[in-house]
Amino acid sequence: MEKIVEHLKCRIDEKYILKGESMANHTTYKIGGNADIFVIPQNKEELIYCIKVCRENRAEYFILGRGSNLLVSDDGFRGVIINIEDNISKIEVNDDEIYAEAGAGLINVSYKAYINSLSGMEFACGIPGTVGGAVYMNAGAYGGEMKQIVTEVEALDQNNEVKVIYNDEMRFDYRYSAIQDANYVVLSVKIKLTKGEKEEIKNIRERLRLHRQNGQPLDLPNAGSVFKRPEGHYPGKMIEDAGLKGYTIGGAQISEKHANFIVNTGDATAKNVIELIKYIQDEVYNLYGVQLKVEVKMLGEFE
Q: Which of 223, 238, 274, 292 binds ligand FAD (CB under 6 A)?
A: 223
Min CB(13)–ligand FAD separation in Å: 21
Q: Does 84 bind ligand FAD (CB under 6 A)?
A: yes
Q: Which is nearer to ligand FAD, 12 or 106 (CB)?
A: 106
Q: Does 196 bind ligand FAD (CB under 6 A)?
A: no
Q: Does 120 bind ligand FAD (CB under 6 A)?
A: no
**Alpha-carbon span 284 to 299, nearest angstrom:** 25
Residue 74 and residue 32 in contact, taking contact as beta carbons nearer than 8 Å: yes
Q: Does 141 bind ligand FAD (CB under 6 A)?
A: yes
Q: C-alpha 17: how far from its chain's center?
A: 22
Number of residues that bind ligand FAD (CB under 6 A): 33
Q: Does 139 bind ligand FAD (CB under 6 A)?
A: yes
Q: Show contacts of 13-18: CB within 8 Å, 24+ apart.
A: 13/42, 16/40, 16/41, 16/42
User: Could you tell me which stretch among 8-16, 68-76, 198-206, 232-240 binds ligand FAD (CB under 6 A)?
Assistant: 68-76
Q: Which is nearer to ligand FAD, 12 or 156 (CB)?
A: 156
Min CB(134)–ligand FAD separation in Å: 4
**Alpha-carbon span 154 to 75, nearest angstrom:** 33
Q: Which is nearer to ligand FAD, 95 or 164 (CB)?
A: 164
Q: Does 110 bind ligand FAD (CB under 6 A)?
A: no
Q: Which is nearer to ligand FAD, 179 or 193 (CB)?
A: 179
Q: Does 64 bind ligand FAD (CB under 6 A)?
A: yes
Min CB(198)–ligand FAD separation in Å: 23
Indicate left, alpha or beta for 178 from its phi (over 0: left) and psi (-120 to 50: alpha): alpha
Q: Which is nearer to ligand FAD, 6 or 55 (CB)?
A: 55
Residue 75 and residue 24 in contact, taking contact as beta carbons nearer than 8 Å: no
What is the phi/psi pair of residue 53, to 5°? -55, -45
Kindly give, in sequence order, each residue whose CB lies less than 8 Å from that of residue 215, ignoring residues fewer than 6 positions away: 257, 258
**What is the b/e burial string over 39-77, where b = at least 16 CB atoms within 10 angstroms of the residue's CB?**
bbbeebebbbbbbebbeeeebebbbbbbbbbbbbbbebb
Min CB(75)–ligand FAD separation in Å: 18
Q: Does 292 bind ligand FAD (CB under 6 A)?
A: no
Min CB(236)–ligand FAD separation in Å: 12
Q: Active-site positions?
A: 175, 225, 295
Beta strand residue intervals within the chain, DSSP E:
17-22, 34-39, 61-64, 70-72, 77-83, 91-94, 97-101, 118-119, 140-141, 144-145, 150-156, 162-166, 185-192, 194-195, 248-249, 252-254, 262-264, 297-299
Min CB(269)–ligand FAD separation in Å: 18
Positions in the binding site for ligand FAD (CB under 6 A): 28, 62-70, 84, 102, 127-130, 132-134, 136-137, 139-141, 179, 185-186, 216, 218, 222-224, 297
